[in-house]
Amino acid sequence: MRAITAVPTAVLATGAATVAYASLVERTRWTLRRFDVPVLPPGSAPLTVLQLSDLHMTAGQHGKQAWVAGLAALEPDLVITTGDNLAGMDAVPPTLRALEPLMARPGAFVLASNDYYAPRPKNPLKYFKTDHKRVHGEELPWRELRDGMTDRGWLDLTNARGTLTVAGTRIAFAGVDDPHLKLDRYNDVAGAADGDADVRIGLVHSPEPRVLDRFAADGYDLLLAGHTHGGQLRVPFYGALVTNCGIDRQHVRWLHRWAEPTAAHPTRTWLHVSAGLGTSPYAPVRFACPPEATLLTLTAR
């Protein structure tokens, strides 16, 4: 009898330990990822870009707030946020306080579904269905978040274009609202990217290929996205189980080439998908996929 019950007991113990690690340890193992991206004109000095995404902030997450604020010590040349900042009605003030030291730097952002609507309990198995119905929570005070960032000079690129000159580098931007909610209006920003800029950057929360392809066709050198949480739960030697959008599992996080050079756009398009810094309050686990911010160093081609 002991031989029969030993295996199930061991399996249960392993499962319990995995859940405890995923919910109590890895979920708050804040990590800084670094990549070099060769997108600047030959001879250019490097430019550092800090990308934040998917904070899913609640008022009580003091450790995350302190860690985000501490990223100002990196002294990035530019800060980009790619949406899903909020996870509660009272989250705007602590989120803005966490971003405050970074808002002394030039910045730009797009918003996303979890800026607009509060999270709700969900059956996690629905993420395996590409056509699952999305049910919104109550509307969040997203305008206060937006105004808090724009008042400090950050560009709101939600279905908009913009330019910044940072450390002598002229950057042309375009961004769209969240494709996950079908709020993207690419036609509002469509057309060839600014050919006089030193680098062209596109922002979108959910990395839907139909949007990424249009950015690439218009000549954007670097695309920044989030949304996927890197898969959030990853199986060692296999990777993400789901992406929660149209992108394939191989592109679910980190830096990749999205499009090769063409006659119209002689430089390749790079894509960086942030694994993000948070989770839904109703699914507070991560496994083999720690919460991340990314410091991208743009270098000469």
Beta bridge mates, 112: none
Yes or no: say if 176 and 201 are a contact pair by the CB < 8 Å rule: no
Q: pTM here?
A: 0.90
Q: What are the tens digits of pLDDT across the range 113-134?
A: 999 999 988 666 555 566 656 6
- How far is Cα of residue 277 from the mean position of the Cα atoms in its chain? 8
The 3-state DSSP class for residue 86 equals strand
Residue 268 has a pLDDT of: 85
What pLDDT does residue 136 have? Answer: 77
CA 283 to chain centre: 18
pLDDT at 261: 78
By the 8 A CB rule, do 230 and 240 touch?
Answer: yes
CA 67 to chain CA mean position, Å: 17
**How far apart are the C-alpha atoms of 35 and 298, rounded to whole Å?**
9
Enter the tokens of residue 79: 């800060």
Distance CA 81, CA 174 (A): 13
* pLDDT reported for residue 2: 47
Render pLDDT for 172-181 as a digit per residue (tens, 0 to 9). 999 999 999 9
Q: Are 141 and 122 in contact (CB under 8 A)?
A: no
Q: Are strands 47-52 and 292-300 parallel, antiparallel or unpaired?
A: antiparallel
Mean pLDDT rounded to a whole number for the chain: 90
- Angle formed at CA 253 by CA 65 and CA 55, multiple of 5 degrees: 20
pLDDT tens digits, 202-255:
999 999 999 999 999 999 999 999 999 999 999 999 999 999 999 999 999 999
Rounded to whole angstroms, how far apart are CA atoms 293 and 226?
11
Residue-range domains of the chain with CATH: 2-300 (3.60.21.10)
pLDDT, position 11: 38
- Residues of the chain with pLDDT below 50 are 1-5, 9-17, 20
- List, in sequence order, every residue forming a beta bridge with 224; answer none if it has no partner: 203, 272
